[in-house]
């Protein structure tokens, strides 16, 4: 099997599964004061240090959540800013967090239009929170967060960044980024599904996302997902190793794109005029629907996504490609291939063997 869908969810290393099993066996409630409780609490605080360390934050800035969807909603709904500005290429969990959010347009590569952001901020920056992702889950395109933070700070706007696709693929330093809020998801870096974190720059800038027993410094009530959090911590520990592989991953991704272009001169690689994550390729093969490509590749044992995994299953034109000005017909032929540290040359061969057959078929029908 060839797994090329790391942006949907990354495989879990044995060490992470082991850390989860060990945590699952801890019977204490992390809020209990006895020895069992203290052991559970220690496992959570260890994981908090690991997660903070992986993204250049301090442990006390980390609030564990059920994933990035919750972290995104919490940041945008609980920060006390009535005006929400989101880039048009955000994940659905950001786009839909606040129904009245205004959309910041992007250029043909999917990079945020800073002039449009400046205009939107001029209408009331001090009342606003801006949400711009670090890197796009469908195309891998990296956003100019430095410029976003600079513009926002001129007007007193807060900045939230969905950094889910970053850790292990590009350097992520919360402090250097200068954003107020940053969202993470464990399962994109080899941790379990259903756990994530919101990182906060300053205490007191956020209202509780969920009231309850005062957990997570009162910001997110509910007995902590100890097993999941322990897995998240173990996965965060592997972030530097992932980053060390980024050059090798990029060489494989570039080889794949070169061979795709050679095999189908009309194929389109989206976002290739911008800085991109090293692991992501979003490719259209005109005339073959994404659904047909995903199915043919699946039959050959190769796993990829049609656009974003969250919207596949119900194949509709990707809002990301649409915002980039891609025609619906071409967007409907786009697949996302996303690699990881375990990807090898044999995986690229498997992909090319199956995808090359599809491309050959289109050449024959055109002839």
Buried/exposed code over 218-247 (b: 16+ C-beta within 10 A; e: otherwise): ebbeeebbbbbbbbbbbbbbbbeebbebbe
Among residues 41, 91, 169, 220, the one that binds ligand PMP under rule CB under 6 A: 91
137 near ligand PMP, judged by CB under 6 A: yes
E-assigned strands of the chain? Answer: 2-3, 62-65, 83-87, 102-104, 128-131, 158-162, 181-185, 196-200, 268-269, 280-284, 302-303, 305-306, 334-338
* Size (the chain), residues: 367
Among residues 86, 129, 133, 267, the one that binds ligand PMP under rule CB under 6 A: 133
x/- map, 284-323, ligand PMP, by CB under 6 A? --------------------------x-------------
164 near ligand PMP, judged by CB under 6 A: yes
Q: Is residue 65 left, alpha or beta, with left meaning phi > 0 and alpha meaning psi from -120 to 50? A: beta
**In the complex, minimum distance from the CB of residue 187 to ligand PMP, in angstroms, rounded to a whole number:** 6
x/- map, 177-216, ligand PMP, by CB under 6 A? --------x----------x--------------------
- Residues in the interface with ligand PMP (CB under 6 A) total 13
* Maximal CA-CA distance, the chain: 76
93 near ligand PMP, judged by CB under 6 A: yes
Name the residue nearer to ligand PMP (CB basis): 64 or 355: 64
Dihedral sign, Cα of residue 175, residue 178, residue 181, residue 183: negative
| Residue 216, phi then psi, degrees to nearest 5 | 50, 50
DSSP-based three-state secondary structure for 144 = coil
**In the complex, minimum distance from the CB of residue 177 to ligand PMP, in angstroms, rounded to a whole number:** 16
| 79 carries an active-site annotation | no
Which residues contribute to the site for ligand PMP (CB under 6 A)?
67-69, 91, 93, 133, 137, 162, 164-165, 185, 196, 310
Q: Which residues are catalytic?
A: 310
């Amino acid at each position: 099997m060839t797994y090329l869908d790391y942006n949907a969810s990354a495989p879990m290393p044995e060490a992470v599964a082991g850390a989860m099993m060990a945590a699952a066996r801890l019977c204490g409630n992390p809020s209990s004061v006895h020895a069992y409780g203290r052991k559970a609490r220690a496992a959570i605080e260890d994981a908090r240090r690991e997660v903070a360390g992986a993204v250049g934050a301090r442990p006390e800035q980390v609030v564990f959540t059920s994933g990035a969807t919750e972290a995104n909603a919490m940041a945008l709904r609980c920060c006390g800013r009535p005006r929400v500005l989101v880039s048009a290429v955000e994940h659905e969990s950001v786009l839909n967090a606040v129904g009245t959010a205004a959309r910041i347009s992007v250029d043909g590569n999917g990079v945020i239009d800073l002039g449009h952001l400046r205009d939107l901020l001029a209408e009331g920056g001090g009342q606003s929170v801006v949400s711009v992702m670090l890197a796009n889950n469908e195309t891998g395109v990296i956003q100019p967060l430095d410029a976003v933070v600079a513009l926002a700070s001129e007007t007193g706007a807060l900045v939230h960044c969905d950094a889910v696709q970053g850790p292990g693929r590009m350097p992520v330093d919360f402090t250097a980024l200068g954003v107020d809020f940053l969202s993470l998801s464990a399962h994109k870096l080899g941790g379990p599904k259903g756990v994530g974190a919101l990182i906060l720059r300053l205490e007191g800038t956020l209202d509780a996302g969920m009231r309850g027993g005062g957990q997570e410094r009162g910001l997110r009530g509910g007995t902590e997902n100890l097993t999941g959090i322990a897995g998240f911590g173990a996965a965060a520990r592997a972030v530097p190793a992932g980053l060390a592989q980024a050059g090798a991953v990029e060489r494989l991704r570039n080889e794949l794109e070169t061979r795709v272009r050679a095999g189908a001169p009309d194929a389109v690689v989206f976002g290739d005029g911008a800085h991109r994550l090293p692991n992501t390729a979003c490719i259209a093969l005109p005339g073959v629907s994404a659904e047909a490509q995903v199915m043919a590749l699946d039959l050959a044992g190769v796993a990829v996504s049609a656009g974003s995994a969250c919207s596949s299953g119900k194949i509709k034109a990707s809002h990301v490609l649409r915002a980039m000005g891609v025609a619906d017909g071409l967007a409907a032929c786009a697949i996302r291939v996303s690699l990881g540290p375990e990807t090898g040359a044999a995986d690229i061969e498997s992909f090319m063997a199956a995808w090359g057959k599809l491309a050959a078929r289109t050449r024959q029908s055109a002839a």
